[in-house]
Structure 1
Amino acid sequence: MIVVALWLAAPVLMWLQAHDAATRIAPAEVQMDRVQLVEWVEAVTAPAALALRWEVPHSVLSPAAGRVQEVLVAPGDVLENGTEMLLVNNRTIVAFAAEVPFFRPLSYLDDGSDAAALNEMLATMGLESSPGDVVTARTVRGIKALDHRLGGGRGGGTFDPTWIAFLPSDGETVESVHTGVGDAVAIDAEIVGLRPSVESATLVDAESAPHADDGSLEAGSAAGNGRADDSMATAMPIPPDSHVELPDGTKLDIDDSGNVTDASIGAVTSASQPGDVSTAVRIVTPPSVGSVLAPAGAIYVDTRGNQCMIRATAAQGGSTTPVRVTITGYTLGGVAVRSGDLSEGTWVVSRPGQTDRVTC
């Protein structure tokens, strides 16, 4: 009989102990604070970084040989299709990102991929051209107009590839100029160095972002190449309803794998310096509807891994109960949490002691 009574009493004792742990009287010296509804206008931000990989730097080569009379570009200039670069032997050399580099003279009825590129270039420059990959009579008239524009006389309508400096892509930025007035330039001599572009950028935690001096660069590569080892850059997910932006506020388009898309890679290049292996960004999360703002020290994690706070019925002398919460963001003023057990004006223990951190 005694054994049965003890067996029945055990669960009751366990419930009473748990209830006592969950609801207790707050000591007079425990600091209390009231939680507030989240009403700040600014979004919640958290630091992060982009691990960068850079393309191999490109150059623009001279298509002609001669004496440089004028340099028409400078570091920082953006080279667009048709940009004038040099004056050599009284002829202007322009840059163009043709589908294929021009390699031969082109005359009436010539055809091929370079003839198609010539027609496209003439059209881009606002000159007569023809659709397709054949040099037509219209193409010839466009060639004559281009020849005249670049300093030629009344030529016979044959396109000369020495007029055009091949540009890897439209919109490249000049990093350095390697020729000057009075220099004798040779064919295929480097005349302009282009600013390298970011090849890929991966969102990573700010603490684990690669650095040029921490061994995270690929073996055998110079720090100036800025090619971080992929193993050092594990992509991190973006929290729901959040976005990533550069320090200047430019919003970045990032795919589900944590990689910056082509639509935003140019913005990352502009915000970075050649050789950087990472660049700072921030994750922006709007305030969550229904969240309350509480002191950061009020949060603790119980033995089950739950995020908890201790709710109180009064500022002093009231009973306390641990409640489970979900953190929705951080601010300088505290931590934003959401819980069905908290509302505006609820008292919480600001800094619960170790003995108060019971399971919620």
Structure 2
Amino acid sequence: MSKKKRRAHSGSDHLATFLIALVFVVPISAMVAAALFVPRTDELVMPAEKPSYMRIHKADFLDSRPVNLQLHWVDGTDLLAPAWSGTVTEVAVGPGQAVSTGSRVLRVDGVWRIAAHTDWPFFGPVSKDSAPGDVAAVNGLLASLGYSYSQGGWNSASLKGVRQLAVDLGVAGASQIGAFDPSWVIWIPADSVTVAAPLVSPGSIAPAAGQPVLSTPPRLSLVEVATSAPEGLPEDHEGWILSLKGLAVPFDGARIDAVDTLASFEGALGATGVEEVEARVERKEAVVGWQVPTSAVVVDADGNTCLARRSNGTEPDVVRVEVLSGSVGTARVDGQLSATDDVLVNPASVGTALQCS
């Protein structure tokens, strides 16, 4: 190849190399150089927010939290017959009726049989020769029914009361009776029970001793309380009530099994057997406190709560507070505050580390 051609090729090679460097190398180098001067994101220092203050005010708060009640039921019990013989001539109770001591339930051979709540069922005639406990039970029954009775053992007042009862029940020869007859009463396990259904009908043979006469509806055995409210259930139960369908009972915690309270729930709900119902847990009395944003309240390392406040434009200072209650975004606090105070709303964002103690 001639020298002239070699020089031509050499010039072309240099030009190509220059163009490659111009197109690829220079931009890449510029990108690398630019990257070296761009600060890393984790090295950026964000400017602190400006302190923000808000005027506080005092108000009454009646806290109320929605709750869900899980209801646990057990089967009702049957009311059983004493030792009867004869024919059922009338039934006086029906579904949904309440039966208490003295309630007329049915007639057997024309004689009324009434409900009676005593410490235990009567199992035999009671007279002057009976055990003191049985005599006391009969006197107590007579007193509750408004008849003559004795405050001691069996005496003429007891006998008079038994005969008065026998007359009202329609017992033949009542004036000559000398003892209380247990077949006059149907024992009930509580002061009052609700009838689900009578299990006998007029014209039927009276049930034998221990056979069912009336059925009762399901009974509540346990109520469990739960809530999805952010503040949860009150840890201190004092001063809180559970409200349901016009019923208000003391709130005793997440499990309710007190017999009286369960009976109150049954009265409000009816014997429906429903397994879940909505209710509310509420303060019995309103709480008076200062309303502040929750962001203003700081908890220090020792668990103390406080906030920063300024009054009439003065320099802010730290005030210890007690959190009484709260809801989403709002806390109700008590402390040495006044109606002219403005509280620091954003202590965490302005880099202010408050020490409450």
Is the shorter-chain TM-score for this pair beyond 0.5, marking a shared fold? yes
The reply to whether residue 163 of structure 1 matches residue 176 of structure 2 is no
Residue 78 (structure 2) pairs with residue 59 (structure 1): yes
What code does the residue aligned with 1:169 have? A
- Counterpart check, 1:359 vs 2:349: no
Mark the CA change 1:310 to 1:178 in structure 2 (over 3 Å): closer, same or farther.
farther
Give the Cα–Cα distance (whole angstroms) in 2 for the partners of residues 197 and 88 of structure 1: 29
SS in 2 for 1:336: strand
Structure 1 partner of 2:199? 178
Contact 1:253–1:263 under 8 Å retained in 2: no
Deviations 1:133-185 (CA, angstroms, capped at 9, x unpaired): 43x44433333332221122224404322111011122233344333344444
Q: Which residue, 264, 274, 296 being the options, matches 1:267?
A: 264
Determine the structure 2 residue equivalent to 1:329. 325
Cα pair 2:242 2:279 within 8 Å, conserved: no
Structure 2 stretches of 5 or more lacking a match? 1-46
- Whole-Å Cα distance in 2 between the matches of residues 285 and 116 of structure 1? 42
1 CA distance for matches of 2:237 and 2:134? Answer: 49
185 and 45 in structure 1: CA distance in 2 versus 1, 3 angstrom threshold: same
Aligned twin of 2:159: 140
1:189 is aligned to 211
Give the whole-Å Cα distance in 2 for the aligned partners of 1:286 and 1:94.
Answer: 44
Do 1:58 and 1:168's aligned partners in 2 also have CA atoms closer than 8 Å? no
| Alpha-carbon displacement from aligned partner over 1:253-303 (angstroms, at most 9, x marks no partner) | 859x997877756435534665759984524164555x3112345445455
Given the superposition, is the C-alpha separation of residues 83 and 347 from structure 1 closer, same or farther in structure 2, using an over 3 Å criterion?
A: same
- Please, what TM-score do these two structures have when normalized by structure 2? 0.64
Gaps of 5+ in 1: 1-23, 209-234
Aligned partner (choices 240, 247, 250) of residue 248 of structure 2: 250
Q: CA–CA distance in 1 between the matches of 2:142 and 2:286? A: 53
Distance (Å, rounded) in 1 between the aligned partners of 2:327 and 2:302: 26
Aligned equivalents of 1:343, 1:25: Cα separation in 2 = 28
Residue 122 (structure 2) pairs with residue 102 (structure 1)? yes
* Change in CA separation of 1:331 and 1:150 when aligned onto 2, cut-off 3 Å: same
Indicate conservation of the 8 Å contact 1:254/1:261, yes or no.
no
The one-letter code sitting in structure 2 at the alignment partner of 1:358 is: A
Matches within 5 A, 1:27-66: 27=50, 32-38=53-59, 40=60, 43-46=62-65, 57-63=76-82, 64-66=84-86
Please name the residue that 2:104 is paired with: 84
**Residue in structure 1 matched with residue 14 of structure 2 by the alignment:** none
Structure 2 matches for 1:145-156, cutoff 5 A?
A: 145-155=164-174, 156=176
Whether the aligned pair in 2 keeps the contact of 1:312 and 1:320 (CA below 8 Å) is yes
Per-residue deviation, residues 36-87 of structure 1 (Å, max 9, x unmatched): 122x3x5334456788887874331122244433322233333221111112
- Find the counterpart in structure 2 of residue 284 from structure 1: 283
Question: What is the DSSP-based 3-state SS (H/G/I as helix, E as strand, rest coil) of the residue aligned with 2:134?
Answer: helix
Q: Deviations over 1:323-346 (max 9, x none)?
A: 543211236893211233x42243
What is the TM-score when the length of structure 1 is the normalising length? 0.63
Distance 1:339 1:130 in 2: 63
Aligned to 2:113: 93
CA distance in 2, matches of 1:348, 1:239: 31
Task: Give the SS at the match of 1:246.
Answer: strand
Q: Which residue of 2 aligns with 1:343?
A: 338
Give the whole-Å Cα distance in 2 for the aligned partners of 1:249 and 1:355.
49
Task: Name the amino acid aligned to 1:250.
Answer: A
Native 8 Å contact 1:61 1:165 kept in 2: yes
Supply the distance in 1 between the matched residues of 2:150 and 2:247 (Cα, whole angstroms). 44
Aligned length, in residue pairs: 298
Write out per-residue CA displacement over residues 72-127 of structure 1, whole angstroms, 9 at most, x where no aligned residue.
Answer: 223333322111111232121101112332222345x3221323322322232222
* Residues in 2 aligned to 1:66 and 1:357: alpha-carbon distance in whole angstroms: 90
Indicate if the aligned counterparts of 1:25 and 1:319 stay in contact, CA closer than 8 A: no
Percent of aligned pairs with the same residue?
A: 23
Preserved contact between residue 328 and residue 337 of structure 1 (Cα < 8 Å): yes
C-alpha distance in 2 between matches for 1:261 and 1:250: 15
Aligned CA RMSD, in angstroms, stands at 4.4
1:359 to partner: Cα distance = 3.5
Residue of structure 2 aligned with 1:111, choices 122, 126, 130:
130
From the superposition, tell whether residues 285 and 298 of structure 1 become closer, same or farther in structure 2 (CA, over 3 Å). Answer: farther
